[in-house]
Structure 1
Amino acid sequence: MTAPRFQPYIPPDFCARLREAFLRIGYDADGVLAAIGGLAHAALTRDEPELAYRASRDAGELGTVIRLFLLGSAESATDAKAALAPVSLDEALGTGLLRGEGDAVRAGFDVRPHGDEDGSWWVISDLEPERRRWLDRELSTDHVLGIGQASMSLVRATSRRPVGSLLDMGTGNGVQALHGSRHAERVTATDVSERALALAAATFALNDLDVELARGEWFTPVARRRFDQIVCNPPFVVGPARVDFTYRDSGLGGDDASALVVRQLPGFLEPGGTGHVLASWLHRDGEDWIDRVSGWVPPGVDAWFVQRDIADPGLYVGTWLRDAGIDPRSPLGREQAATWLDWFAENKVDGVGFGFVTLRRCDIDNPTVLCEDLRQAYDDPLGGEAAAWLDRVTWLREHPDVLAERLVVPDSVVLEQIAAPGDEGWQPTIRRLHRTDGPGWQHEVDELVTALLAGCRGALPLSDLLELLAAAHGEPIDELTDAALPVVRELVRHGMLVPASEATT
């Protein structure tokens, strides 16, 4: 374990013994699921703990740890001591892992299993607001957030191709670095918060991972260094320039935090290196969000902005107040909401966009910068699609004469047609392509494009297919080609047309 330059809250030797205890009792992602069952586990993810409480009663020492760290209950000191052996109760209390409550103890930190398809880790963070009521104090500015929806969405949006070096900028509890350790030879994690780095260090020690840690704002800790991949979940909350909580507030006004990361990140990438960022951006009256965010991208960088949601200012403010454990109905909640909403009104903000940014340092004069809406539900992780999107952008760049290429419609693409009754029977009014994998792209197409795609079976180059189509429909070939090429390139970028040489059989 690389020694950090600060005093950890939970020392590495303590973490080693705690890992031994967790392994002994089976406190991991699979063990918890087996102990409480699928129904209770699903209810727990909905913040409905009673089924898990009941199921844990028959799980012995594992049940004790589940109730301590996942359910927030008070457990007898005797039971906790037995469950956590070889960790002593005095050690657990001394590090803050547990807190005394008479003859009982409660968790002082959130320590929970977190798994992927290859195994399980443990992640240490501060207790969330609903679990802190017994402490009788508000969240501190340096509160270290647990694994939330934003964290997991970035996990799923990150490419997992092997790399030599990875930077997790703004590591928080360290979950991005954990996932990065699966595909990166070397991982560096930074944060502005000493408390976040302390808990991240404990997370890495608990999982026996060697991660380089450095403290500082933004990219300052890694000045003059470059990485093959950078992952960043920045403090992207949009609003007045203030810092209530370091995990979400940057001290910069509006969407300047997201803009800063997008502008500066490529300068810390090796040539061909990639970045994956969670970001927010303003939707302002009279301004196109695409123009706004594309202006953040520096020269020589491919960029793909995927907008997943647009929040109404009122909804946005209420969501983040509750995130901080503040009741929007309370005097404090109303005061903060008023300040926030006034700022939105003064800056003509009618919505806040949220999504993912994929960046690649390509060092060319004509990079691809694309901004898209992707607000439909989908199941597949976006990280694989982001890597494939970059591949397809490269292919288009290396094959500027698409007319000479043989293309294929993959089996994952289907055509939906909606017809209305007419004088000559049912007449198609909508033709829509659906990609049934990945993010489920959809494209509405006309009759000629539908006919062109029917011929894309890899036997003839696109130019020949267009000539046949023009002859069959009496269309001028030049006009048909000019109209078809932008559609073809867009379908290639979305994986709905692929080179015949890359098509699977």
Structure 2
Amino acid sequence: MTVDLTPDRIDRLREALLATGYDADGVVNLLGPEAHAALGRGEPVPALRATTDAGALGTLIRLFLLGEAESPTAAEAALNPLAVAEALAAGLLVEDGDAVRAGLDVRPHAAADGSWWVISDLDSDLLPEGQQLRTDHVLGVGQASLSLVRATSRRSVDSVLDLGTGCGVQALHASTHARRITATDVSQRSLALAAATFRLNRIDVELAEGEWFGPVRGRRFDQVVCNPPFVVGPPRSDFVYRDSGLAGDDASAMVVRQLPSFLNEGGTGQILASWLHKSGEDWQDRVSRWLPPGGVDAWFVQRDVADPALYVGTWLRDAGYDPRSTVGRRKAAEWLDWFDQHDVEGIGFGFVTVGRTQAQHGEVVCEDLRQAFDDPLGPESDQWLRRAAWLREHGSPESILESRLVTASSTVLEQVSSLSRNGWEEFVHRLHRTNGPGWQHEIDELGMRLVAGCQGALPAGELVGLLATAYGEDSTALTNAAVPMLRELIRHGMVLPADWSEAER
């Protein structure tokens, strides 16, 4: 099905959505919390019941969120001033016997201070039975794109590049903090739907068609955000939104390798990426090799590692294939054979933050962050880059020891005791960070006392000397142990430079 989403049709659709209250708050208020939660779980009946006799808003919810067929008369009333004939010509609706149903997904997307609308293709569960996704299927706002939204820095910038924009959701969020936005995609269909999304929301975005960084060759931006086709496996292109045509994790590697050259000095990039866990190879060594030499700080955060069989089954279902079907079995076998041939034991998934710097040797850190946490990772990525720069500037042990440090207010101490004949004896001292990623570090008793003494009054070296004297420890040995501990606590935002303002911390 082709789309013909002319500006005039989009403008009239906007009028209809505004008139009916079809936005994030309007949908939640009509459905109620229970039915809305059920809809999020893929259980439509409570929402269907809630929209009965709910007028034009109920009609739009049934059409675009539930995939129900509606009479042309009801659709005409709900979409006024966009006539049903125009909606059919645009591809927003399709005929279903004497009724009409959604041809595209049009749904509200909650923003920090309001609501946007996003136009995309229908998910596989809303397609007619037996119909497969198009090869140029345009994915809507899924969990992967939402996770990238939360992992992206929102500091004010002049220019943002949304590489591989898809339905345009990353560019929508970029509009909250960027003066100029450029969005690219290899898919003409993606660009058409993204253009309609931007028009619908009155957001000005420069669109460019082409593969990877090709459309912006020779340009630089303050920020680049990218949700690439990161699915790993054989080199194929079943679906544009997920398959790059490159083998293994080469798509993620290429984006990470090339992205820094498209950043202004001090610019940052956030990438959603996948990487292979291969027998006999450390994943951290693998992804570190993706980076260009020098001039880049990089933070690789691994949020999950999937078993190959689970990974294949998940992506087959995502595309609407039944893994038990003939075609599902064939595709699964080809995929798993490729993993076996290349010694793949798992597939890592996570975020990459890169910062362009003038330093000859950048900071590259790869960390597992598989624990649950509530705070978005975007603000943390900004602070991570700032702390990495500080640690580089204070690279020598002497420089760390000369610094005045403060323990962050978000750092708390947990102590665990075991019962002995002499009563309770503490055997674990663990620092917790209560915000951001929720880092934890186990330390010994002297480390605990050193962190307690970091209140900005004395340089760290003097605190270490006082502890050595008080506890009869060798000063050199204690210093050698304290410096790497302090570096790690600074890296994780648990101890910070005293001369940073409260806002900078």
- Whether TM-score is above 0.5 comes out as yes
Counterpart mapping for 1:49-448 below 5 A: 49-134=44-129, 136-298=130-292, 299-400=294-395, 401-448=399-446
Of 177-186 and 33-42, more deviation after overlay is shown by 33-42
Matched pairs, number: 498
CA contact (8 A) 1:57 1:63 kept: yes
CA contact (8 A) 2:4 2:89 kept: no
Task: Supply the distance in 1 between the matched residues of 2:3 and 2:10 (Cα, whole angstroms).
Answer: 11
1:459 aligns with 2:457: yes
Pair 1:187–1:258, CA change in 2 (3 A): same
Check whether the contact 1:9–1:202 (CA below 8 A) recurs between aligned residues: no
For 1:492, what is the secondary structure of its paired residue?
Answer: helix
One-letter identity of the residue aligned with 2:472: G
Structural mapping, 1:27-66, within 5 Å: 27-66=22-61
CA contact 2:432–2:439 (8 Å) conserved in 1: yes
CA distance in 2, matches of 1:469, 1:344: 53
Cα distance in 2 for partners of 1:105, 1:218 equals 37
Q: 1:446 to 1:19 in 2, by over 3 A?
A: same
Instruction: Give the drift of 1:116.
Output: 1.5
Query: SS state of the match for residue 501, structure 1?
Result: coil
**What is residue 480 of structure 1 aligned with on the other side?**
478
Q: 2:472 and 2:283 mapped to 1: Cα distance?
A: 40
CA displacement at 1:406 relative to structure 2: 1.8
* Distance in 2 of aligned mates of 1:66 and 1:113: 10
SS in 1 for 2:268: strand
Helix, strand or coil for the counterpart of 1:458? strand
> 2:297 and 2:409 mapped to 1: Cα distance?
28
Cα pair 1:9 1:199 within 8 Å, conserved: no
Mapped partners of 2:468, 2:501: distance in 1 = 26
Q: CA deviation at 1:451?
A: 1.3
1: CA distance between counterparts of 2:393 and 2:157?
23
CA distance in 1, matches of 2:228, 2:102: 28
Query: Structure 1 residue runs of 4+, over 6 Å off?
Result: none
Determine helix, strand or coil for the equivalent of 2:488: helix
Aligned match of 1:502 in 490, 500, 504?
500
1:16 counterpart = 2:5? no
The Cα offsets for residues 137-173 of structure 1, whole Å up to 9 and x where unpaired, read as 3211101111110000000000000110100000000
One-letter amino acid of the structure 2 residue matched with residue 390 of structure 1: L
Aligned mates of 2:384, 2:280 — CA distance in 1: 30
| Mapped contact 2:3–2:91 kept (Cα < 8 A) | no
State the AA in 2 paired with 1:124: I
* Residues 432 and 445 in structure 1, CA contact (< 8 A), matched pair in contact too: yes
Structure 1 contact 433–444 (Cα < 8 Å) conserved? yes
Specify the alignment match of 2:491 in structure 1.
Answer: 493
Q: Distance in 2 between matches of 1:294 and 1:423?
A: 50
User: Mind listing any 5+ residue stretches in structure 2 that lack a counterpart?
Assistant: none
CA displacement, residues 39-75 of structure 1 (integer Å, 9 cap, x when unaligned): 1111111111111111112421111101110111111
Q: CA deviation at 1:459?
A: 1.9
Q: Cα deviations across residues 109-139 of structure 1 (Å, max 9, x unaligned)?
A: 00000012121110001111111125x5321
Indicate the RMSD between aligned Cα atoms, in angstroms.
Answer: 1.4
Shift of the alpha carbon at 1:423?
A: 4.2
User: Cα distance, 1:246 vs. partner?
Assistant: 0.6
Q: Alpha-carbon deviation of 1:104?
A: 1.6
Kindly provide the amino acid, as one letter, of the partner of residue 458 in structure 2.
L
Rounded Cα–Cα distance in structure 2 between residues aligned with 1:53 and 1:321: 28
Alpha carbons 1:318, 1:337 under 8 Å: kept: yes
Give the Cα–Cα distance (whole angstroms) in 2 for the partners of residues 410 and 263 of structure 1: 34
Q: Structure 1 residues 446-455 or 311-320, which shifts more?
A: 446-455
CA distance in 2, matches of 1:394, 1:363: 10
Deviation of 1:343 after TM superposition, in Å, equals 0.7
Q: 1:185-220: per-residue Cα shift (whole Å, max 9, x none)?
A: 010110111111111111111111111111111100
Structure 1 SS opposite 2:235: coil
- Partners of 1:206 and 1:459 lie apart in 2 by 55
Bigger drift between 234-243 and 95-104 goes to 95-104
Name the CA distance, whole Å, in 1 between partners of 2:381 and 2:52. 44
1:286 is paired with a residue whose SS is coil
In structure 2, how many angstroms separate the alpha carbons of the residues matched to 1:9 and 1:357? 36
Normalising by structure 2, what TM-score?
Answer: 0.96
What stretches of structure 1 of length at least 5 have no aligned partner? 1-6
* Cα shift readout 1:333-388 (whole Å, capped 9, x = no counterpart): 11111111111111111000000000011031121000000000110100011011
Look up the SS of the partner of 2:4 in the other structure: coil
Tell me the distance in 2 between the aligned counterparts of 1:120 and 1:196.
21
Secondary structure at the counterpart of residue 166 of structure 2: coil
Counterpart amino acid of residue 484 in structure 1: A
Structure 2 residue aligned with 1:3: none
Distance 1:296 1:94 in 2: 46
Q: Structure 1: how far apart are the matches of 2:185 and 2:501?
A: 43
* CA drift at 1:179: 0.4
